[in-house]
Structure formats: structure tokens, C-alpha cells
Amino acid sequence: MTNVTDQDRVLIFDTTLRDGEQSPGATMTHEEKLEIAELLDDMGVDIIEAGFPIASEGDFKAVSEIAQRSKNSRICGLARANFADIDRCWEAIKHAEKSRIHTFIGTSPLHRAIPNLTQDEMAEKIHETVSHARNLCENVQWSPMDATRTEWDYLCRVIEIAIKAGATTINIPDTVGYTAPLESADLIKRLIETVPGADEVVFATHCHNDLGMATANSLAAVIGGARQIECTINGLGERAGNTALEEVVMAMRTRNDIMPYHTGIDTTKIMHISRRVATVSGFNVQFNKAIVGKNAFAHESGIHQDGMLKNRDNFEIMRPEDVGLSGTSLPLGKHSGRAALRDKLETLGYEIGDNQLKDIFVRFKDLADRKKEVFDDDLIALMTLDDADDHLQLVSMKVTCGTGGQAESTVELEVDGQDTIATEYGDGPVDATFKAIRAIYPNKAHLQLYQVHAVTAGTDAQATVSVRLEEDGMIATGQSANTDTVVASAKAYIHALNRLIVRREKTGPGADAREISYKDLT
């Protein structure tokens, strides 16, 4: 059926850094992309789609460096169906120990109308571009974008052309989340049975979640014969997102009786990378999200709690430990030492150096002095380190608010070594604080997102605040955690501003904005 040696082995193709980052506002910095790629590589992802090299110089550099750093995964770059894209992609990935060019073109009637190509003209273009890619790289993936809305006869025709031109993986994208499980399985099965040469390549599935069926459609495609799933961490992606890696991996592991397939993913690393992707993208995971949501292994109902106490299997089909989740509180306090803190961080998936530990230890002690009990999630929040230069630093702030009128906020910032104070008024303490920061450091940044969630329960819970700013096409996300929500808000806003300052200095206004629209990508 495929050229995978183990017929029950399903390859995991992660596109968090490409399709996931296309999600509006999810843009990651260069360092964040390298970090996420390293985590994906370490957890056993087979193929990492590191980016779209021709989109921008920043994307090219990130893909190139990921390719050079990768230890286990095959590194893939995306290219449209033209020689310039493919050449640029190859330049970025060619130094990887294992590389792949992924080229695509929209084959449905709607997408053929965009370049205004006839079926024959598009078929010729597919032959030329796939052949060109194969002449550069021995591992080539080809995608007929919007495949699930492409005429059956034409879909078979262009897939055969791509195989003959040298494609080694044929990906079938459900670009707009249009298909359903039975149809998804049947489509893959029929293509493998019908298209000449289909038994010599790997068939892949790429599903979007517009109708909430991405995971089901991907698993159905595997049952139909696909042996590669394209997915993202936390299901990140444009519109309703992509197939979630953690869901398909754990579904095959948990229901191996009816889906007798396996992957190379170390599932104990799932929670850690899920949290890191949420942090760097600024997209917090919904509480009831399958596998990685805060409530995925929580039980509040009295009946459920009683059943859990008697036998965990009553209400848990997976163990929290299987996905790297520790459900216990952190038995550390203000008298705990660095060794105990380091040990706990390592159990949560963090490897830290001595200098980093010293900084975290200071913040941990400060938190322990203010909280009765410190939980795992509190410690994870402390690991959200500021990775921007500290052009702006919060020195102090005082806020007055209530029912008697507008809130008042007095903020003192250190701006490149010089202290400045400003007082402003607003509709609430956060609004007044942001205005005070802007008074001290005038800027044109537009607030795209302001989001608050409690890390743990209780009135002394830490609040994690995410702030996303946009200025001249550049987007920066800042985060901070504090038991005082307004302080966390101020620090998150300053964090985002610091990132914008650094990016402005490195690239100039607008230089890091996407040069190519992603609207037609897979």
C-alpha cells in the first residue's frame, strides 16, 4: 500500500511552525521557532514543516537554522508551484541531514480559477515543478490543495502525474475542513486502488477543523490507507485550526484495538510542548480541550470523584502521566532549596542551566512568600521568561480604582536606564495603566489581544496575562504572571513593547511582516 516498511507505522508531520503560525497573531520570534523545533525533534516527530522560506527573509533564516540543527526529524519547507519558490526552499533545507521539499497547487475548480489555468495547463505545471523539486531533493511531497473539492477524475490524473514526476509523498489536503470521516477514508482508499504508482508512495492527510472533524477525518484517512498525518500542537492554525497532534497520537494509542497503528512520538513530552506553544503563540489552550486542556484530567462531579477514588479506570481512559502531566501540588515552600526546585522543574520537562535557575529561584521565593500553596501550574507560569531586551522595565506602580469614578494609575518605568513617572486615568485599572505606559513611552502599537486566565484556584492565584501588539505590520506577544492581575498586565504590555523595540531595531519598520499572503496555502 505504501513504501513505509512497517505498514502499521503512521508518520507524524508537524506543521505548527508553518500552518500553525499562519493563525492570525500567532507569529513567533526566530528564537521561539528554534525552541519549538527542538522540542518537536526531541519528542519524535517524523517530519517538521519548518516554514515557507520564500515568504520572508526571517522565515528563510529560521528554516535554514532548524535544518542545520535537527538531530532526528526530516526538515521540510513549503513551496508554491514555481521554480523560484522551490529553489528558495531547497536553499533553506539543503543542509539538513534529512530534508523534504513540499510543493503544492490548488486543483479544485475554485482554486484553478485563481491562476486562470485550464486542466491541461495545470497538469503541465505540476509535472514541471515536481520534476524540478525532485532534481534538487530526493524526498518530495506534493499536495493538490482543496483536494476534497476537486473532481475525482482530475484528482486521479494529477496525482498520477506527480508520482511519475518523482513525488515520494502524496498529501491529500482537506483545506477548508469540508469532508467527513467516511468520505475521508473512502477517498484515500479509492485513490490508492485507482491511481497507477500509488503503491510506491506514502499517502498523507491534512485536515482542517472548520466543522470540528479534523481529528476524526485524519484517523479515518489512516484507516483508508494514509500513513502520514499532518497536524499541529494544540490544533493551532488558521480559522478553526488543524488536526491536533496530541489527539491523533493519543487516539491511536488508547484505541489501538480498533486502530492498530503506532507512531514514534514520546507522549510524555506532550504537555510540555503544548504549554510552550501556547506561551509563544499567545493562544491559551481552552480548559476542555482534549488531552492537553486544564480540565482534561479534572473531576469535580461527586459521582465521578467517588468513582475515581475507587478505580481510576472508571472515568479515565488515559493516565495523566502518559502525556507528561503531573496532577499533584508542588510540595515546595519558602524554605525549599535550589536542588529541590531544579528536580521539580526537570520532572515538568524543563532543562535549565545554573544562571537560569538562579533567576527562577528568586521569583519562586517571592511567590512562595505571597502564596499559601505553590502548584505545578504556578511553577510553569514562572518559566515564562522575558526573552526581549529590557529597554523598558517596570520600577513601581500604584493604582486606585473603585465605584467612585475613573481609575487612576501611577507608573514608574526605567527607560534605557532613566526613571520616568506618569499618571493617567482610564475606564479601569488596566486601561489607566496602559495609558500611563504609553505616556512614558509613546508608541503607535495597536492592542490586538488582551487575555487573562488564572493559573490555579483561589484568591491568591497567579494571573497569566497575554498581550499582543501590532505596529507597522510587526506583531509581538508579551506574557507575564503575577498574583496581582494589574501588575501582570503591565509587565505583559511592557514585555510586548520590548519585543517590538528589538524587532524594529533588527529589521526596520515592516521588514518582518509577511511578504506573501498565506490565504491560498494548504
Residues marked as binding? 19, 206, 208, 242
Which residues, including other chains, have CB under 8 Å from residue 144's CB and lie 6 or more apart?
A: 104, 105, 106, 107, 150, 155, 158, 159, 162, 172, 173
Characterize 22-38 residue by residue with b for buried, 16 or more Cβ atoms within 10 angstroms of its Cβ, and e for exposed. bbeebbbbeebbbbbbb
375 φ, ψ (degrees, to nearest 5): -100, 170
Greatest CA separation found in the chain? 77
Report the alpha-carbon distance of residue 400 to residue 500 in Å, rounded.
29
Report the alpha-carbon distance of residue 304 to residue 309 in Å, rounded.
9
Specify the DSSP class assigned to residue 286.
Answer: P
- Binding-site residue set for Mn(2+): 19, 206, 208, 242
Helix (H, G, I), strand (E, B) or coil at 420: strand
Please, which residues bridge with residue 170 across strands? Answer: 142, 203
- Which residue blocks in 385-428 are alpha helix, DSSP H? none
Length of the chain: 522
Is the CB of residue 71 less than 8 Å from the CB of residue 45?
no
Give the CA angle between residues 491, 492, 497 to the nearest 5°: 95
Q: How many CB atoms lie within 10 A of CB 482?
A: 22
Helix (H) or strand (E) holding 130: helix 119-136
Please, which residues bridge with residue 13 across strands? Answer: 47, 230
Which of these, 81, 38, 91, lies nearest to 60 by C-alpha position?
91
Q: How many CB atoms lie within 10 A of CB 100?
A: 23
Report the alpha-carbon distance of residue 54 to residue 59 in Å, rounded.
7
Specify the DSSP class assigned to residue 285.
Answer: P
Q: Check the CA dihedral 175-177-178-179 and report its sign.
A: positive
Report the alpha-carbon distance of residue 327 to residue 308 in Å, rounded.
14
3-state secondary structure 207-228: EECCCCCHHHHHHHHHHHCCCE
Integer-rounded Cα Rg, in Å, for the chain is: 25
Cell of 439: 505616556
Is the CB of residue 195 less than 8 Å from the CB of residue 159?
yes
